[in-house]
Chain A
């Protein structure tokens, strides 16, 4: 681990603990993909890949982050809280009644109820990319330089709307948009390959006209390099295929689709936290 990524890596292990605690306390939520995307979320927010300021969530020069696969809200909320968007205490209210932290993120313009940092409502798969495209069109219209990031999942690529959006993004040459696809090959019922194969996703994206980058979602050197490359691209719209391990960091959750949307019981939770503590310590070496 290069020294300059040590604090980022440490933060990622803490976020993993936070998000598992949220899911455990709510006894509801989606651990596998949340754990799998934690390193990327940490790089985007705490690693400041996104131009943003937690103290000014409405800053008009910020980059926009649209979450499309809203079920990974645990990693989103846990990252936002650790980055200072709102107090960490509030994570306890995840999925509880009268909370801002809905199971799937809720956007509202009403600042009394808005979760700082959340830019769109999401959950029903396939929608976030179109919303991000709309934002990208608006930014171009207004000659603004902000970038729009959109996080999707691989199972989500089964939705027809995603492919409508790909056509639209290329047709309108929205080169201010950066898509990230979590390629973890799981969905609720099993592997993506067995449920409804995507075929050669990379070739499909290339044939649409995207610049495609492949990324190891657990290697900070690669994550930062690819995200910086994507940010500096001025020619083509970009799709990043982020190869991740679902359940990353918790041995019994890794690569097991059954942890897509299941909360751990007490002993599972304790074991998971122990493992994450050890990983955090190891990252300090």
Chain B
């Protein structure tokens, strides 16, 4: 079933509404009630997909979601228009903390697909997964990952290694995956071997793949369209820190890409991403820094 708070066109739910009117519930601009209704439907054994913008869903209805999650309900929260790339609407509409919020909830599965193909596959996977899930989506049209690399299988909870490398690892989610691949291809031209890993599932995080990659490369860049003090960045760094002295014998050089203790602003999506260093040029700058660190650590 699909529940929506007056955003079915923005979230591209119109076709579902047209084809399955009996399974579409319009809730109006009332996100708290929508989450509660979703909980009630899940109590009745339905699988509600609850959609709105990420700033409201889970931004406005977190308490309702928290209680539903506490009950272990099989609900799917779809947070659309997340991140700076929401663009002209500005900071009030640009969720940069939603991944952190959702990862903080016990038992929540948190998914951030990198293109429409992945969104299609992962949406079907979360429907089949019994338990609360968050699917974070963006507004910006994105190039298909398949136009950069040959794709390996994508599966909830399993990191997707898009490109192997030995000099450094880039861990990314969402639209930062494309930018990471662009950066990696640029850096290849100057002889750097960059590993690019798509961490589409942020919770549960595929810690093993992260550790295995940095054990090989000794350097990591974590890139997400999100605050760096929580979400993907914080969790990857925590994973690496915990592995020190156990699976990791050498210190790892790390740099972060994301917003740092700031809200967004209005502007064109590409201009905003560039301003905040969330494009391949920003990544290349950080690569230089992280490789300098790595050199120091190894000397």
Contacts and interface: CB of A to CB of B under 8 A. Distances in A.
B140 interface: no
Given A120-B71, A124-B67, A167-B28, A139 B33 contact: no
Contacts of B90: none
B71 to A, nearest CB: 4
Contacts of B23: 141
B166 interface: no
A138 B36 contact: no
Interface in A56-70: 66
A248 to B, nearest CB: 29
Contacts of A135: 40-41, 43-44
A201 B16 CA distance: 38
A152 B259 CA distance: 42
A131 B72 contact: no
Nearest to A172: B25
B36 A129 contact: yes
Given A127-B63, A168-B33, A134 B39 contact: yes
Given A106-B71, A138-B46, A160 B40 contact: no
A38 B183 CA distance: 67
Given A110-B72, A120-B71, A127-B67, A133 B44 contact: no
A139 B37 contact: no
B38 interface: yes
Contacts of A120: 39-40, 43, 71
Given A167-B28, A168-B28, A134 B43 contact: yes
Interface in B211-237: none
Contacts of B66: 124
A122 B265 CA distance: 38
Given A168-B33, A168-B37, A130 B43 contact: no
B9 interface: no
B70 interface: yes
A130 B43 CA distance: 12
Nearest to B5: A164
Interface string A125-149: 0111111111111110110000000
* Interface-centre pick from B22, B27, B42, B71 (highest chain A CB count, 10 A): B71
Interface string B111-147: 0000000000000000000000000000000000000
B27 A108 contact: no
Contacts of A122: 67
Interface string B180-203: 000000000000000000000000
Given A137-B41, A138-B46, A171-B28, A121 B35 contact: no
B179 to A, nearest CB: 39
Interface in A23-72: 66
Contacts of A119: 43
A107 interface: yes
Main secondary structure of the interface of B (DSSP, over half): helix
Contacts of A124: 63-64, 66-67
A119 to B, nearest CB: 7
B45 interface: yes
B30 interface: yes
Interface in B35-92: 35-46, 48, 63-64, 66-68, 70-72
Interface in A161-218: 161, 164-165, 167-168, 171-172
Given A106-B70, A108-B71, A124-B67, A132 B40 contact: yes
A130 B67 contact: no
B32 interface: yes
Contacts of A161: 32-33, 36, 64
Given A109-B72, A110-B72, A138 B44 contact: yes
Contacts of B38: 134
B256 to A, nearest CB: 34
A139 B44 CA distance: 8
Contacts of B43: 107, 119-120, 131, 134-135, 138
B207 to A, nearest CB: 26
Contacts of A132: 40
19 contacts: A66-B40, A109-B72, A127-B67, A130-B33, A130-B34, A130-B39, A130-B40, A134-B43, A135-B40, A136-B40, A138-B41, A164-B32, A165-B36, A167-B28, A167-B33, A168-B27, A168-B28, A168-B30, A171-B28
Interface of B: 22-23, 25, 27-28, 30, 32-46, 48, 63-64, 66-68, 70-72
